[in-house]
Structure formats: structure tokens, C-alpha cells
């Protein structure tokens, strides 16, 4: 009797302590339970296209609100957390922390890309696949991506970083002269200047008929592709991070004079964390709705999965190796504690990443799990995680390497060591350049294909399953950020002991003692 009471109490404690996590898992399961049967009902012929879209919007509506709330918190979270983290350290420590963050994240990204290559070369999913319809992709190349990355690090407008980002885009330039007759005098004097005129104006394939007074031009293919730096409607998180770091360094150098600003930001951050807590309690419903909405929207789930089954298996195996073997091994080697406890505590973030397909939207949850459940130093978490969410995407690097060689196999190209190296390097670069938003990896995959000399139109084959694989790679990306945070904290421990401003905002009583 006594032991059964103890068991009930123990179970009750487990449920109470992990209530949110249990509810999130229930949310994920319910998403599938609701989405799958609803899919066959909705996709049946009884509904027309518009009705189907309306149902999809309604099923996914709660999820849409959930993602909006998470996104709403990103800006105040990034700005307050980074400024405070940097302001509480001296400049040398910030520099060291930054270097460690970059080195660690680069290292795990390359490991992920190499795992992807090894798996895809062993499983050879492309040899068994069927060809699908292809679509016209946009232009993306490695140099543009790297330049965009650097460009965005140095924003030209602080306010704009919160909603716009610079991006090199390619525009189809349609020649306005079509089947036109131009008087000869317009072509600077005489018909002899015609070729110069055409060259200057970049008018493409021609049929040209010259007479003594006019030139008749019939343009057959009037398209020219132009590169342009444009501002796209998307948060420039990298720019926000640089501005916050610069502000934090200045604030730290200001000494006691900067104290009111630090205190204000400290209170702001506490408010943001309280709001994140509140939003987290809506996450079971949000995640359930996101998954169900996506499933309902799928036209033929069975066929899609069947035709790309080997690619899906290869990618998920790679991600499982990275998340369940590589990360635990790294954690154990550097920290010498049970890695699975750490990963267990990150579950809420992983499920949120699975639901939202966005590392950026998941950032508030990642931060909460790392700080509150895994007890990582607040300053490290606040500095490392926003950077990780933006540039560290191990799951994406792994996927891009797999997808690139998959497309090579599909087209019967053989890949030598040189091409394999190019794939690893460009997959890592493409993952760093990918935005922390849904399906960003699919866009930067084009640059990997271009570098490897493969047909970029083949990305069209992957559209149908990207929504699914994106969830796994985002969960892996977020987990990688969190493990990195613990490792970097370990290496930075000694620096923090030297830092007098050490606990400036993690422990208010200590702050008072120092100031």
C-alpha cells in the first residue's frame, strides 16, 4: 500500500515537473492523428481547390498564431540578450567567446556535411529513384551568398535590420524592342553603327533587316538575367547581432556610467522571458495545428514518400547520427557528463523546431531550455545561441550534401574526390548562408548544385518532401546550437572567473555587491 502511494506520488511529480513537455509531445502526436485522416477526406474530390485551401488555413490557424508570437519575441530577445551578455564581459572575453563560437560551429558543420557524404555514397539513394517533373529554380551562387552574408553583417540602417535583409537577386530583363523599326538616325548616325548599338543595349538574339532609312529588328529571345542587390522582407538577424555586439562592447567600456542602461535592459529581458514562458504554454496547440495543417495540405502523401523514400531514409539516418551519436560524443568528450540528460532537457526546443521549421522562431524556446533546464551560464547562452540560430545549421549542411550527391546519382554523374570536396565545402557554406526560416536550405542547395556542375532544375524534385525533411534538419540545427553552447561555456569558464562583472545581470544581489 505504502509503495503504491509512493509510486503514485512519484508519477505525479514526474507529470507535474514535465507537464509542458508531455503536452508538447501529445501535441505532436495529435497533429499526425488529426492531419492524416483529414488529409484523405479533404483531398478527396468532394472539395474544390479553394475549399481545400480554406480548410488548410483553418486547421493551421492556431499554429500560424503561435509562430507569429514566437517571431514577435525574437527582436527584443536578441537585442537585450546579446547587449547584456557582451556588456557584462570585457572586450577580450567577448573576442574569445566569439572566436570559440565560430570555430566550434564550423567544426560541427563540416562533420555533418561529411556524414552526409559518407551516407549518400554508401546508401546510393539516387540509383533507385524515379525521375520527376522539374521546375525552374532561381539563381544562387556561392560568391553571392558569401557577399550577402558579409553585407548583412554590416547593415546600413538599424531599424531596417528588424524587417529587411539584403539579397542578390537575378531579374529577367525583358527587352522592350520587339519587332520594331528604328530610324537609322536614332542609331547614332549610320547603319554602320548598328552592331555597336546592339552591343551597348545588350539586345539578345536578333533578326535584323537594314534599309537605308530604317532598321527592322525582330527579337526572338528577349531575356537577359541581371544581378541586383535588393532588400527582401525578412529580418536581418546577422545585422542585428553585429549592432548588439557593438552596442554591448561600448556599454561595457562605459563603466559605471552605463549602469542605468544595463538595468533597463535587464528588466526588459526579464519581461521578454516571462512572455516566452506564457507563449510556451500555447505551444502544444500550436505545434499540433502546424503539423496537422501541413499534412492536410499534402496532395498525395503516400506517393510523395514512396518515390523519395531512400532519400528520406538517408537524410534522417544522417540527422539521427549527428544528433544521437556525434553531439553526445562531443558533449561527453568535452564536458564529461551524461549527454542524454542534456539532450532530454532540449526536447521542447526540438519539438518546437519540428513544428515551426525555423531555428529563428525556435530561439526563445532554445534559450529557455538551455538556461533554465540545462543551467548553462546566461551570458554564454545569450551570446552563443542567437549566433548559432543564424549561422549554425548542421542538419542543413548534412542535407545539402546528401541532396547534391543524390541528384548526381540520379543523373548518372560519377563523383570523384574533387567533386566530393567541393560538395562538403559548399554544403557547409550554403548552410551558413541559409536563413533560419522554413525551406531556406532548399534555396541555398542551388548554389551547391551549381558549384558541383549539376543541373539546378533538379531541386524541383525535392520540393514535395522538403517540408518534411526541413523539420528534422531544423530540430538537428537547434540541438547543435544548444550542445555548442554547453561546450563553449566549458571552455570559457576560466575567462569568466577573471571577469569582475561576471554576474552583473544573472544575479542581482551580486550586481549590487560589485557596483
Interface ranges with ligand ASP (CB under 6 A): 357-359, 393, 396, 434, 436-441, 470, 473-474, 477
CB 474 within 8 A of CB 394: no
In the complex, minimum distance from the CB of residue 96 to ligand ASP, in angstroms, rounded to a whole number:
26
- Give the C-alpha distances (Å, rounded to integers) separating 357 from 145, 350, 367, 388, 437: 21, 10, 17, 15, 7
What residues contact residue 93 under an 8 Å CB cut-off, 6+ apart? 492, 495, 496, 498, 499
The least distance separating ligand ASP from the CB of residue 427, rounded to whole angstroms, comes to: 11
Identity of the residue, 31 or 480, whose beta carbon is nearer to ligand ASP in the bound complex: 480
Q: Are 397 and 430 in contact (CB under 8 A)?
A: yes
**In the complex, minimum distance from the CB of residue 183 to ligand ASP, in angstroms, rounded to a whole number:** 54
Cα separation of 76 and 386, whole Å?
A: 12
Closer residue to ligand ASP, CB minimum distance, 343 or 389: 389
Q: How far is the CB of 138 from ligand ASP (least distance, A)?
A: 15
Instruction: Compute φ and ψ for 236, nearest 5 degrees.
Output: -95, 85
CB of 460 to ligand ASP, least distance (A): 16
Give the nearest residue (CB) to ligand ASP: 441
Name which of 326 and 403 has its Cβ closer to ligand ASP.
403
In the bound state with ligand ASP, the residue whose beta carbon lies nearer, of 120 and 504, is 120
Q: State the nearest-atom distance from the C-beta of 278 to ligand ASP, in Å.
A: 23
Which residues, 6 or more positions from 381, have their beta carbon under 8 angstroms from its beta carbon? Answer: 81, 85, 367, 370, 371, 485, 489
Minimum gap (Å) between residue 399 Cβ and ligand ASP: 7
In this structure, what C-alpha cell is assigned to residue 146?
558569401
Min CB(435)–ligand ASP separation in Å: 7
Nearer to ligand ASP (CB atom), residue 55 or residue 119: 119
Q: Which residues, including other chains, have CB under 8 Å from residue 89's CB and lie 6 or more apart?
A: 97, 252, 379, 495, 496, 499, 501
Closer CB to ligand ASP, residue 31 or residue 441? 441
Instruction: Please say which residue, 217 or 451, places its beta carbon nearer to ligand ASP.
Output: 451
Nearer to ligand ASP, 249 or 449 (CB): 449
Closest by Cα among 375, 347, 323 to 485: 375
Cα 106 to chain centroid distance, Å, stands at 15
* Cα end-to-end span (Å), the chain: 57
Tell me the CA distances in angstroms from 341 to 331, 346, 357, one per residue in order. 11, 9, 24
Amino acid at each position: 500500500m505504502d509503495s503504491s502511494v509512493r509510486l503514485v506520488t512519484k508519477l505525479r511529480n514526474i507529470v507535474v515537473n514535465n507537464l509542458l513537455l508531455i503536452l508538447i509531445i501529445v501535441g505532436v502526436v495529435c497533429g499526425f492523428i488529426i492531419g492524416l485522416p483529414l488529409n484523405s477526406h479533404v483531398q478527396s474530390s468532394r472539395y474544390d481547390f479553394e475549399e481545400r485551401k480554406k480548410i488548410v488555413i483553418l486547421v493551421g490557424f492556431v499554429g500560424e498564431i503561435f509562430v507569429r508570437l514566437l517571431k514577435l519575441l525574437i527582436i527584443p530577445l536578441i537585442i537585450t540578450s546579446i547587449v547584456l551578455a557582451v556588456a557584462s564581459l570585457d572586450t577580450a572575453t567577448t573576442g574569445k567567446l566569439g572566436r570559440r563560437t565560430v570555430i566550434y560551429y564550423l567544426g560541427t558543420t563540416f562533420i555533418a556535411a561529411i556524414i552526409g557524404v559518407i551516407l549518400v555514397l554508401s546508401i546510393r539513394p539516387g540509383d533507385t529513384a524515379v525521375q520527376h517533373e522539374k521546375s525552374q529554380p532561381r539563381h544562387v551562387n556561392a560568391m553571392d551568398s558569401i557577399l550577402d552574408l558579409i553585407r548583412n553583417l554590416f547593415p546600413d540602417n538599424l531599424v531596417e535590420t528588424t524587417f529587411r535583409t539584403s539579397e542578390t537577386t537575378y531579374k529577367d530583363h525583358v527587352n522592350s524592342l520587339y519587332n520594331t523599326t528604328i530610324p537609322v538616325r536614332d542609331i547614332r548616325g549610320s547603319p554602320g553603327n548598328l552592331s555597336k548599338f546592339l552591343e551597348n543595349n545588350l539586345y539578345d538574339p536578333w533578326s535584323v533587316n537594314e534599309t537605308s532609312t530604317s532598321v527592322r529588328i525582330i527579337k526572338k529571345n528577349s531575356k537577359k538575367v541581371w544581378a541586383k542587390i535588393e532588400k527582401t522582407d525578412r529580418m536581418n538577424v546577422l545585422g542585428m547581432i553585429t549592432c548588439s555586439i557593438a552596442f554591448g562592447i561600448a556599454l561595457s567600456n562605459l563603466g559605471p556610467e552605463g549602469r542605468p542602461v544595463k538595468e533597463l535592459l535587464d528588466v526588459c529581458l526579464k519581461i521578454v522571458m516571462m512572455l516566452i514562458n506564457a507563449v510556451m504554454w500555447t505551444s502544444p496547440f500550436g505545434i499540433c495545428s502546424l503539423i496537422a495543417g501541413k499534412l492536410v495540405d499534402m496532395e498525395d502523401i503516400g506517393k510523395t514518400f514512396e518515390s523519395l523514400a531512400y532519400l528520406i531514409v538517408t537524410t534522417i539516418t544522417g540527422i539521427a547520427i549527428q544528433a544521437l551519436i556525434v553531439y553526445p560524443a562531443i558533449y561527453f568528450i568535452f564536458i564529461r557528463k551524461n549527454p542524454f540528460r542534456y539532450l532530454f532537457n532540449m526536447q521542447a526546443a526540438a519539438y518546437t523546431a519540428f513544428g515551426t521549421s525555423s531555428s529563428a522562431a525556435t530561439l526563445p524556446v532554445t534559450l529557455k531550455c538551455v538556461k533554465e533546464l540545462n543551467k548553462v551560464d546566461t551570458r554564454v547562452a545569450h551570446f552563443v545561441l542567437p549566433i548559432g540560430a543564424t549561422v549554425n545549421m548542421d542538419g542543413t549542411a548534412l542535407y545539402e550534401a546528401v541532396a547534391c550527391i543524390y541528384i548526381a546519382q540520379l543523373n548518372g554523374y560519377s563523383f570523384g574526390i574533387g567533386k566530393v570536396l567541393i560538395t562538403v565545402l559548399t554544403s557547409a557554406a550554403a548552410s551558413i548562408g541559409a536563413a533560419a526560416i522554413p525551406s531556406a536550405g532548399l534555396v541555398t542547395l542551388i548554389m551547391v548544385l551549381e558549384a558541383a556542375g549539376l543541373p539546378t532544375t533538379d531541386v524541383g524534385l525535392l520540393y514535395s518532401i522538403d517540408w518534411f525533411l526541413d523539420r528534422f534538419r531544423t530540430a538537428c540545427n537547434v540541438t547543435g546550437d544548444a550542445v555548442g553552447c554547453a561546450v563553449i561555456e566549458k571552455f570559457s569558464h576560466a575567462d569568466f572567473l577573471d571577469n569582475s562583472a561576471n554576474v552583473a545581470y544573472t544575479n542581482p544581489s551580486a550586481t549590487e555587491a560589485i557596483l
